[in-house]
Amino acid sequence: MACFSRVSPALVEILNKLQSGESLTDFDHNLYENGSVRYNIQASASSPQIVYLSTWMPPLSPEFSSVCLPDCALQDVERVYLDSAAVVEPSKQGYMLTLRINFAELPQRKGMEFSCTLP
């Protein structure tokens, strides 16, 4: 599956484990990357196909808020992910974007693991 190829290798590893069903308990993990990028990944044992991925990164420009993304960016995210992920509004407190990812709806390629790309 090629939907998140430019993100953190650690994030991809966590998503692969969740997608393969390796985590059969409730999961809530924070991940911090270089450059102050933060991720929060949440999954529930009762709905293992659904994962909530929240992200925060420093604003690229002083014109943008560090609290949320502009509407045009949210529309781009929704267009790229269509049925496999949905923007959760409001996003998780302290994060700019929260996606509800449905592993069952992600495009499947035989023998492929997660290799995801945030727009």
**42 within some domain:** yes
CA angle 52, 56, 62 (to 5 degrees): 150
pLDDT of 84: 78
Domain span including residue 70: 9-105
**4 within some domain:** no
**119 within some domain:** no
Stated pTM of the model: 0.74
C-alpha closest to that of 14 among 4, 35, 29, 33? 29
Query: How many structural domains does the chain have?
Result: 1
**22 within some domain:** yes
pLDDT of 117: 46
**113 within some domain:** no
The string of pLDDT tens digits covering residues 48-106 is 889 999 988 877 666 665 555 666 666 666 666 667 788 888 889 988 889 898 888 87
Residues β-bridged to residue 38: 32, 56
